[in-house]
């Protein structure tokens, strides 16, 4: 790898005051399913046989839903948020060097601290390091394509990677995925669990993607598109894209022994 290139550092421009939200043990806000893709979306053919047809049974959140796994820095390695370095064998991976950064927030706008964010993607040519991916674009020997980070006390996360390429897939005979990065986020309770995908500003494949267009709400779709964040780029090194992720908000406690300020 390139010994001259600097190590990844925190690209944040200004740091909000650390704010640990009060520990909620009320239920999460009702999920607004009108901004999510429906389970059955015939334009995305794989969903047809894999979508439940009965109504979901709505249940009030119990302790089973408001709790969820807790992760810590012990779960991660030092290069987990540096996809340029975490699989490098004899050099840096090929592709446009980018930083992706943002905050995990809840619907009230508070940062979600200490939550696990995982991400995975194709390489610059649109090929995944996966034994089931047979696309003809080559594997990059220096690129694994996955990483993870824990948000800080303000909900902030960042990682470095190369910009993924678009790739073809079997839906219609000429279906192509826009460049994207897959994200998995936990939040504080299992009912906040979310998997989504981040897209890149200006990609002409966005409006024609059969997976993206499963989202019925134009604003919800736009919120998956990360803008170029030139101010956070590293001159002569990496461009930056900004991607905030919003998880469900939570009511504060209704317990009698509520703590002060809650």
Partner 1 sequence: MPQPLNYLKETASQTAGPYVHIGLIPAMAGFDIFEKNFSNVLVAPNTKGERITLEGKVLDGSGSPLRDVLLEIWQANAAGRYNHPADRSAGALEQEFRGWGRGGSDFDTGLVTFETIKPGAIIDKAGRKCAPHINVWIVARGINIGLNTRLYFSDEEAANAADPVLNLVEPPVRRKTLIATRSERGGKAVYSFTINLQGAEETVFFDV
Site for partner 1 in 63-92 (CB under 8 A): 63-70, 74-77, 80, 86-87
Instruction: Give whichever of 152 and 249 is closer to partner 1, judged by the CB atom.
Output: 249
Q: CA 219 from chain center: how many Å?
A: 18
What six digits make up the tokens of 200? 């890149």
What six digits make up the tokens of 216? 């019925």
Alpha-carbon torsion, ordered 180, 186, 191, 195, to 10 deg? 10
Alpha-carbon torsion, ordered 186, 192, 196, 201, to 10 deg? -100
Among the residue ranges 3-11, 12-20, 39-47, 154-162, the one whose residues contact partner 1 (CB under 8 A)? 39-47
Q: CA 253 from chain center: how many Å?
A: 28
Shortest distance (Å) from residue 204 CB to partner 1: 19
Confirm or reject binding of residue 23 to partner 1 (CB under 8 A).
yes
- Contacts with partner 1 in 165-194 (CB under 8 A)? 182, 184, 188-191, 193-194
Beta bridge partners of 146: 120
Shortest distance (Å) from residue 235 CB to partner 1: 29
Binding mask 232-251 for partner 1 (x = CB under 8 A): -------------xxxxx--
Residue 75 and residue 237: Cα distance in Å, rounded?
29
- Contacts with partner 1 in 205-234 (CB under 8 A)? 211-212, 214-215, 217, 219-221, 223-224
Within 105-233, residue ranges assigned H as helices are 218-222
Among the residue ranges 8-16, 20-28, 89-97, 157-165, the one whose residues contact partner 1 (CB under 8 A)? 20-28
- Contacts with partner 1 in 129-148 (CB under 8 A)? 129-133, 144-146, 148
Residue 35 and residue 221: Cα distance in Å, rounded?
8
Catalytic residue selected from 44, 87, 110, 128: 128
């Amino acid at each position: 790898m390139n010994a001259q290139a600097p190590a990844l550092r925190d690209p944040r421009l200004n740091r909000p005051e650390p704010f640990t939200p009060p520990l909620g043990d009320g239920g999460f806000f009702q999920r607004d399913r009108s901004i999510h893709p429906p389970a059955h979306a015939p334009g995305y053919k794989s969903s047809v046989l894999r979508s439940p047809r009965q109504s979901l049974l709505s249940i009030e959140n119990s302790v089973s839903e408001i709790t969820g796994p807790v992760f810590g820095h012990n779960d991660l390695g030092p290069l987990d948020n540096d996809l340029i370095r975490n699989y490098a064998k004899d050099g840096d991976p090929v592709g446009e060097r980018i930083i992706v950064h943002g905050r995990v927030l809840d619907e009230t706008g508070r940062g979600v601290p200490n939550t696990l964010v995982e991400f995975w993607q194709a390489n610059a040519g649109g090929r995944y390091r996966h034994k089931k991916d047979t696309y003809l674009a080559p594997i990059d020997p220096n690129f694994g394509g996955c990483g993870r980070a824990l948000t800080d006390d303000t909900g902030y996360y960042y990682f470095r990677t190369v910009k993924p390429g678009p790739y073809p897939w079997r839906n219609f005979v000429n279906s192509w995925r826009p460049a994207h990065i897959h994200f998995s986020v936990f939040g504080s309770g299992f009912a906040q669990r979310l998997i989504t995908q981040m897209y890149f500003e200006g990609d002409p494949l966005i409006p024609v993607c059969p997976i993206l267009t499963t989202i019925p709400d134009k604003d919800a779709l736009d919120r998956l598109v990360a803008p170029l964040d030139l101010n956070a780029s590293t001159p002569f090194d990496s461009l930056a894209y900004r991607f905030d992720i919003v998880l469900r908000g939570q009511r504060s406690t209704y317990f009698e022994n509520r703590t002060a300020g809650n």
